Structure 1
Amino acid sequence: MVPPSPAQHAPQARPRNDSVVDDQPFDLPDFSTVSYPAVPDGFVGPGRVASERPRVDVGRSPYSVRSTSELLDEFSVAESTIGSALRREPITIALPAAGSSPGSYALPRLPETFVDAETGQPRTLRRAVESPGSADLPDALDRLELVRLVARMVDGLHAQDHFTAGVDLDTIAYCLHPRPAVALVAGDRVRRVGGDFLASAPATSGIPSLDGDREGFALLAQRLLAPDGRIAQGEIPGLDEAHSSGARRLWARATGPDGTRPQVGEWLAVLG
């Protein structure tokens, strides 16, 4: 008797067009094979690690050499893990690394695509909502994609038990070509839960926390998706009525007390 070949016992792959996917309420599109044009000095992808980008020495840490070294090691691990999770998403998180001397730290240079050619400063999301006459402003669908990318970035940080000293219009840079992309400008304001900040947070940001990130994200999303200050009852451009209604419910919860605000992952579920 000829024993069965291993192939006969191998599990059979499910068809891609199944109408039901385990543990998911509906089919999700598969973008794993999508590729985009290369961006000079731009996005960090699977073939390029963030540490290869030029870095600028920022200065000395307020902590001991040993404590600073431990913090920088934690950032290095988090940056690698987050980068692997985000894969080809056009998101740049410039976390601090060792500087020119013990006890100092450096930050990666921001890719040129995020820098305004006229001012030489990062093109932050504040410009997108407060400079109506400027060139290269995002339209409604671009805004939706930028908000989704910020959510992915913050969700990636939270998954590694890190948070920022404030998710706001001034700490996120953006570009639109060849596709919408975002970059965290103030990487030294990121903190591990229970750890220390390498840089002081602005006094206006309140007490930094995971919940503070959630509140800041909800405000940022409202500024970009409801620029008139009102959360309209109609559909949000780019979202159907069901997802628009879901976003309005999340905004309503975001006004609640600490500990009750929506997780960033809940926003990703309605942003698509």
Structure 2
Amino acid sequence: MTGLDSLGPTLTVTTVPADPAGGDTVTATARLTNDCPFPLRDAVLYLIDPGATTATKTIPLGDLRRGAKVSRSWQTAMPADVAGDVSFTAHLVFDVDGHSSDCARAARTVSVPYEPNGVREPYTAFATADDAEFGQYAPGQLVIWAGGRDLSGGTDEKGVVYLPGAAAESCVVQVRTVGLTGSDNPSAKSGLAVANDLTAPGKGGYAVLTMSARYGLEFMTDSDGDGHLDTWAGGGGSYHPAWLRLVRSGTTCTAYATGNGLAWERIGTATVASASGAGDAGLVASAVNANYPGTTVRAVFDHFSVEAP
């Protein structure tokens, strides 16, 4: 339930069935009560399907007196092959006294658990960590479950989902880390990685940019081509979701991050002398459980892309 403020209006959304499964046909209903001490002028109700960025239905309601009640339903569906929070949304826009506008918004959110289901082409999965599993969901979500002691400090234990040969000599690799859960270890981390071969970092070109559970950003690279991450930049506070970006230009790699996808902060630049030709680009996660034996982490990503600069 969402009220504009303590005065109203009140807007709710319900679904039938109440807890739809993937692929189910759904009847969603928005119910509005004008609890304001004034009428709502030129009200318009927007009904929005899960994952949509524009309204499925736009319904002019006109003027609504004090105490007026309105309900509108729409036929939709629970997307197949989804996980996480799926919302059926109603958005109301109206005028007050003919000279100012306001809005109210409500959603029926269904939480679908993430379950490992593997990844499909063009993605490939690989792991050097215990307990690694992988998932791929619409729209564009990738998930890694993994143990692993760390990515640095002489170890390289992680789960990886990657695009073989996608990291051209000049490219921009980007992702949004949606969430990092399942481990009590504050050092658990997830993010981006590039290398000549992500299944064999000792072949050179290895660089990662991760967001940890509580210790902020880490931009690490392999300075001598031995497959071990031995340079570091970063710090600060952790935040999720986080947008991460690695920009490769030959043997130079620059890391950026932002919380909103707009104002990018440069984290650092490093020379990765062993980088050559088109390499792999992907996503990594590690529980960093050297001091937390047996713990694992679940990392959820979306908006993964590899593009020309």
**After TM superposition, is the score higher than 0.5?**
no
Higher strand share: 2
Asked which structure has the greater CA Rg, the reply is 2
